A = this chain, B = another copy of it.
Amino acid sequence: MAAQQDINIRPATPADSDVIIRLINELAKHIKQEDEVKMNADVLKKDCFGCKPLFYCIVAEQCQKDSSQLVGYALYFSIYSTWEGASLYLEDIYVTPAYRTRGIGKQLLKHVTQAALDMGCSRLQLSVLGWDKMTKDFYTRYGYVDLTEKQDWHVMRMQRKAMEEFVRNV
């Protein structure tokens, strides 16, 4: 289904930061990780619109006669593969529940995918929670392959505290 005509996909601006933070917290709650969010609008503003942007962000906006509201966002950034070169990582796509099943997520994914193609990327990569079947099916439907199932890739992470301890002890 195509996105409704009153939905506009556009690059985020600093003025969107507060609403994007609200949507990030909604997403975190949806995947049961609300306690892990330490982000706020000031950090988001600096990191996206400062002199050295760390990511790209687009938003889905519902436009009405005299007003508009953000109903979704996508956040992505460049990564690199030593096998295939420049690639893109999709950190989040999120659409607020009342606006789902209208094709807005698909339109956000289309914009990110087009950006990846325009940047000459070989891969578009992301992570999903295995139990979040709705999200996993969304991406699988459009051509994503689960490399954890197919090749046994595991995601590993060191948090800042462990990083500090490691460099202190080596």
Contact = CB atoms under 8 A, between A and B. Distances in A.
Judged by DSSP, the binding face of A is mixed
B148 A155 contact: yes
Chain A: interface residue count, which band? 35 or more
Nearest to A85: B43
A164 to B, nearest CB: 7
Given A127-B154, A159-B122, A77 B78 contact: yes
A156 B161 CA distance: 28
Interface of A: 24, 27-28, 33, 36-39, 43, 47, 54-55, 75, 77-86, 89, 91-92, 106-107, 109-110, 113-114, 116-117, 121-131, 136, 139-140, 142-149, 151-160, 162-167, 170
